[in-house]
Amino acid sequence: MVKAANWLTHLEYDLESPVWSHWVHFFAAHFQFVRYDERGCGLTQRDAGDLSFERWIEDLEAVIEAAGLEGPVALLGVSQGAATALAYAARHPERVSRVIVYGGYSQGWRVRGDPQGAKLYRSIADVIALGWDLENPVFRELFTKRFIPAGTPEQIAWFNDLCCKTVEAQTAARLLSARADVDLGPLISQVQVPVQVLHAAGDEVVPLAQGRGLAADLPNAEFVSLDSRNHILLKPEPAWSHFKEAVLDFMEQTPQRGETSDAALAGLSPREREILALICEAKSNPEIAKALGLSERTVRNHASNLFRKLGVRSRAEAILLRHGGSQP
């Protein structure tokens, strides 16, 4: 699997990142995972010249060629990397088996017919050019807090630091501006391989409608909506577990039962875990309510939520999942 470059990454820092490390570890655990930094960022040459969409496609072509990969490859496109991956798939159908898109779009802000959105984008680019390198991270947070609005202070602080470590102010502004001109145009109808389009329902950077529209325009696509506000899915949120399961299913890799159980259980709240533990002790809803000092209605609501998060339909299936067994 080859990941088309997206902003912001750094090949070294991402391995220990509270924002990106779980992405790298997940894909590396299941695939021969090839990634690279976007031109002008990370470990690439900083004084990059051409930052156009066409050059991004050429960079992906060069990386795949240099990697010497045999046979068709799967592509991963995150955010603006989605357009790059899809353009490559359209131009090189014999080299691609399938494409996974997350938080992607086929048209940048300047070509969407949304004057207000384009104005906001230009304003953010102007602020980045002026305040990106300042010690006070407030200008960078205009960018980072839109990407991970539900992030912890640690995650926000790390992302703020990454901004300075991976790209210089003027290049950052140029790259952000270049995003606005992305337009797949007729290429999108030429993508014949299977495509999985995943999108966070509350994404503030790329609206959900962009993901839905992208999936609708592709000849062979499936759409998966994820319950998150984050443009970059964070490890603790249930949407990350949903994302991993959907990806493995699309790639026809079935996770081991223990992996599925751990991922699903990690998405439960402390109260939901308490209730699940009592369910596993064969306690009834009235008994659970009495033990925890809750109303029966509250217990029912918590139970319904945890069943939904675990992807089960009954108490019996929840118990089997918690203990690593096979569901009926």
Mean pLDDT of 46-51: 85
pLDDT of residue 326: 40
In the chain, the amino acid numbered 115 is P
**What DSSP element (H or E) covers 153?**
helix 153-166
| Average confidence score pLDDT of the chain | 89
- List, as one string, the DSSP characters of 174-209: HHHHHHTT-B-GGGGGG--S-EEEEEETT-SSS-HH
pLDDT (tens digit, 9 = 90+) per residue, 167-185? 998 898 888 888 888 999 9
For the cut 90, the answer to whether the pLDDT of residue 324 exceeds it is no
Mean pLDDT of 287-301: 90
Angle at CA 32, nearest 5°, toward 30 and 38? 110
Residue 151 has phi, psi (to 5 degrees) of -70, 155
Query: Which of the four pLDDT bands, split at 50, 70 and 90, describes residue 87?
Result: very high
Mean pLDDT of 189-207: 95
pLDDT of residue 86: 98
pLDDT of residue 190: 96
pLDDT of residue 263: 66
pLDDT of residue 257: 47
pLDDT of residue 328: 33
Question: Is the pLDDT higher at 200 or at 115?
Answer: 200
pLDDT (tens digit, 9 = 90+) per residue, 222-278? 999 999 999 999 999 999 999 999 999 999 865 444 555 666 777 788 888 899 999
User: Could you tell me which residues are beta bridge partners of residue 226?
Assistant: 200
86 close to 182: Cβ distance less than 8 angstroms: no
Q: What percent of the chain has pLDDT over 70?
A: 95
Residue identified by tokens 């596993």 is: 280
pLDDT of residue 259: 53
pLDDT of residue 325: 46
pLDDT (tens digit, 9 = 90+) per residue, 18-47? 999 999 999 999 999 999 999 999 999 888
User: Could you tell me which residues are beta bridge partners of residue 224?
Assistant: 198
